[in-house]
């Protein structure tokens, strides 16, 4: 098409070898990846519907509407593909479409919604799809609406994504101008209107019932299920809700065939998964890998390993709802069932890498603090239980923990899992249980030895100046904010442990490695 622009990019130099890679696929970072959800990101102008059409965009929708494909045939194709929801729980997408299609509404109204409320710390998968390929989500939602007999849709997106919001608005406008959205799409008689709803950044609104309540203009709080949204969702009507990445796979499946998609991945986890790779890793960024790819491949081959010669310690998948995978399980395949079996979960796709300098008790406390801030407070187990759990972790990191506290933590975690109203509270104990199970010796060091092996927990740190290395330069004393260091020029310096605030400034300024931390 005449509107497709030609882009000239500089060649990519791979690592320190100086060799020029002629294609992204030739680089180590992309060699093990397969781009389906991200197929158009970075390759087309996301604000041009012409460029999207130029890469087979709207081919699936036009074929379905012009050939009047039976809705059940579309649903069957999604079922056959084995696509599971990419938002967390991994429910079968085709079954969700089927339930919505079979649901009966008194007035015939049904809704199709998109969950673009990406709230996990360190996650930016959906944001990248919406900023780089918004039309793929619009086309998929229109197809879904046709399949379940809906004529109104909503995209619930957090207001903190201004570029994504802008490009979605542009995409909706252009799709309407081209007759691909709105009334009488492609003269087929099928209508589908789509609107944006901006969220205020509440993590709990990633839960489907809380999201739908928020679209209705109410405070985003979950409600008991059943009834599930497919039966009684938005405005008490049958509602189909998928997240951005799930929709981003739909048109690829319909254009390339369900069998092609099902051939990728594992027996129960088909296709690819996008991860936001971050933390203590050389190559950070988005990666899209076939299901079943091992954690080792992601960290060592794609991620380039751990920087600064440090050792890999653990990886956190699933965000605040997930668990930590220790180094001895680095060969675990990344798929829904394998992660669940070791106490973690797929989640929306955050993957945080940690090295030997991370304290696992502190990591558990960090994610729990996030959950406490984001809990809606509707149910007592989550509202109160997470705070009591956090208090116990603080007691341990402050050096006041007991072995009985570890037993109490486990008991409290299982009460939270069984009693909380929604997945936020039910999954809140996951980081605590996984770290306590896989790194129990680290918890015991905090409790029994009053020591943080990673040197992170401030109240358990102890700074000391080595007599055989101290040169009496006075740099440590001059920079100490608490006046805790004394000594003469060219004489041995000492630290007053009563005054020391454990800030580490003395270690940062010492040029002779005379300050050590225990």
Report the alpha-carbon distance of residue 455 to residue 85 in Å, rounded: 39
| Contact by Cβ (8 Å): 243, 87 | yes
pLDDT by position in tens, the chain (length 518): 344 444 444 444 445 455 555 566 777 888 889 999 999 999 999 999 999 999 999 999 999 999 999 999 999 999 999 999 997 778 999 999 999 999 999 999 999 999 999 888 778 899 999 999 999 999 999 999 999 999 999 999 999 999 999 999 999 999 999 999 999 999 999 999 999 999 988 889 989 999 999 999 999 999 998 999 999 999 999 999 999 999 999 999 999 999 999 999 999 999 999 999 999 999 999 999 999 999 999 999 999 999 999 999 999 998 888 889 999 999 999 999 999 888 888 877 889 999 999 999 999 999 999 999 999 999 999 999 999 999 999 999 999 999 999 999 999 999 999 999 998 899 999 999 999 999 999 999 999 999 999 989 988 988 999 999 999 999 999 999 999 999 999 999 999 988 999 888 999 999 999 998 88
DSSP string, 422-449: SHHHHHTTHHHHHHHHHTHHHHHHHHHS
Report the alpha-carbon distance of residue 279 to residue 354 in Å, rounded: 6
Residue keyed to tokens 């079954």? 95
What does DSSP say about strands 272-279 and 350-355: parallel, antiparallel, or unpaired?
Answer: parallel
Report the alpha-carbon distance of residue 91 to residue 328 in Å, rounded: 29
Helix, coil or strand: residue 353: strand
Fold of 371-448: de novo design (two linked rop proteins) (1.20.1440)
Compute CA distances 236 → 10, 112, 263, whole Å: 53, 13, 38
**12-261 with 272-355: one CATH topology?**
no
**Which residues neighbour 368 within 8 Å (Cβ) at sequence distance 6 or greater?**
320, 386, 389, 390, 393, 428, 431, 432
Report the alpha-carbon distance of residue 397 to residue 446 in Å, rounded: 7
Q: Give the pLDDT of residue 483.
A: 94
Report the alpha-carbon distance of residue 118 to residue 205 in Å, rounded: 9
30: left (phi over 0), alpha (psi -120 to 50) or beta: alpha
* Greatest CA separation for the chain: 90
| Contact by Cβ (8 Å): 125, 85 | no
- CA neighbours within 13 Å on the CB side: how many for 138? 36
Compute CA distances 240 → 58, 220, 237, 249, whole Å: 21, 18, 10, 16
- CB-based burial label for 349 (10 Å; 0-12, 13-18, 19+): buried
Q: Where are the domains of the chain?
A: 12-261, 272-355, 371-448, 461-517
Report the alpha-carbon distance of residue 308 to residue 353 in Å, rounded: 14
Report the alpha-carbon distance of residue 29 to residue 48 in Å, rounded: 28
Q: Which among 339, 390, 320 is positioned nearest to 361, based on CA atoms?
A: 390
Fold of 272-355: Ubiquitin-like (UB roll) (3.10.20)
Q: Which helix (H) or strand (E) covers residue 327, if one does?
A: none
pLDDT, one tens digit per residue, over 109-139 is: 999 999 999 888 778 899 999 999 999 999 9
Work out the number of other CB atoms within 10 angstroms of the CB of residue 488. Answer: 10
User: Would you tell me which CATH number, out of the four given (3.40.50.740, 3.40.50.11540, 1.10.10.350, 3.30.390.10), belongs to the domain 12-261?
Assistant: 3.40.50.11540
What is the number of helices (H) and of strands (E) in the chain?
Answer: 21, 15
User: Would you tell me which CATH number, out of the four given (1.25.40.10, 3.40.630.30, 3.40.50.620, 3.30.70.20), belongs to the domain 461-517?
Assistant: 3.30.70.20
**Which residues neighbour 400 within 8 Å (Cβ) at sequence distance 6 or greater?**
none
Report the alpha-carbon distance of residue 298 to residue 115 in Å, rounded: 27
Structure token digits, residue 285: 């960024």
Q: Give the pLDDT of residue 23.
A: 67
Q: Give the pLDDT of residue 462.
A: 87
Q: Give the pLDDT of residue 344.
A: 86
Predicted TM-score (pTM) above 0.85: yes
Helix, coil or strand: residue 193: strand
- CA neighbours within 13 Å on the CB side: how many for 49? 19
């Amino acid at each position: 098409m005449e509107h497709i622009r030609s882009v000239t990019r500089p060649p990519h130099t791979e690592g320190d070898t100086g060799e020029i890679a002629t294609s992204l696929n030739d680089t180590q970072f992309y060699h093990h990846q397969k781009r389906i959800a991200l197929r158009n990101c970075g390759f087309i102008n996301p604000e041009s519907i012409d460029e999207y059409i130029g890469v087979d965009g709207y081919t699936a929708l036009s074929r379905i509407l012009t050939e009047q494909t039976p809705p059940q045939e579309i649903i069957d194709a999604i079922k056959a593909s084995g696509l599971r929801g990419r938002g967390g729980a991994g429910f079968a997408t085709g079954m969700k479409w089927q339930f919505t299609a079979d649901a009966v509404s008194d007035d015939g109204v049904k809704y199709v919604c998109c969950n673009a409320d990406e709230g996990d710390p360190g996650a930016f998968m959906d944001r990248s799809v919406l900023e780089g390929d918004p039309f793929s989500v619009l086309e998929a939602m229109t197809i879904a609406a046709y399949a379940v007999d809906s004529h109104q849709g909503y995209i619930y997106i957090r207001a903190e994504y201004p570029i994504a919001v802008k490009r979605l608005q542009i995409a909706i406008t252009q799709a309407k101008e081209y007759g691909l959205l709105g009334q009488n799409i492609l003269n087929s008689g099928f209508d589908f209107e789509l609107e944006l709803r901006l969220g205020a950044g509440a993590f709990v609104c990633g839960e489907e019932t809380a999201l739908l309540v928020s679209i209705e203009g109410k405070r985003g709080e979950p409600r008991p299920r059943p009834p599930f949204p497919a039966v009684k969702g938005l405005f008490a009507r049958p509602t189909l809700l998928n997240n951005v990445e799930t929709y981003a796979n739909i048109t690829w499946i319909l254009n390339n065939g369900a069998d092609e998609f099902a051939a990728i991945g594992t027996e129960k986890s088909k296709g690819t998964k996008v991860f936001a790779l971050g933390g203590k890793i050389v190559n950070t960024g988005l990666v899209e890998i076939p299901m079943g790819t091992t954690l080792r491949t992601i960290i060592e081959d794609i991620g380039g390993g751990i920087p600064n010669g440090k050792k890999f310690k653990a990886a956190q998948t699933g965000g605040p709802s997930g668990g930590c995978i220790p180094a001895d399980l680095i060969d675990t395949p990344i798929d829904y069932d394998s992660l669940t079996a070791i106490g973690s979960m797929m989640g929306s796709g955050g993957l945080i890498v940690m090295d030997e300098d991370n304290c696992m008790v502190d990591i558990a406390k960090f994610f729990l603090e996030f959950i406490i801030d984001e809990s809606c407070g509707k149910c007592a187990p989550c509202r109160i239980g997470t705070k009591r759990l956090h208090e116990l972790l603080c007691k341990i990191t402050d050096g006041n923990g007991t072995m009985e506290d570890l037993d109490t933590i486990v008991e409290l975690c299982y009460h939270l899992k069984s009693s909380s109203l929604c997945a936020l509270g039910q999954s809140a104990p996951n980081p605590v249980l996984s770290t306590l199970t896989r790194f129990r010796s680290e918890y015991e060091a905090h409790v029994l030895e009053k020591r943080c092996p990673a040197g992170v927990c401030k109240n358990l740190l102890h700074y000391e100046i080595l007599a055989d290395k101290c040169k009496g330069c006075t740099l440590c004393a001059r920079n100490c904010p608490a006046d805790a260091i004394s000594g003469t020029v060219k004489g041995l310096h000492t630290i007053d442990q009563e005054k020391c605030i454990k800030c580490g400034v003395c270690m940062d300024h010492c040029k002779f490695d005379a300050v050590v931390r225990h």
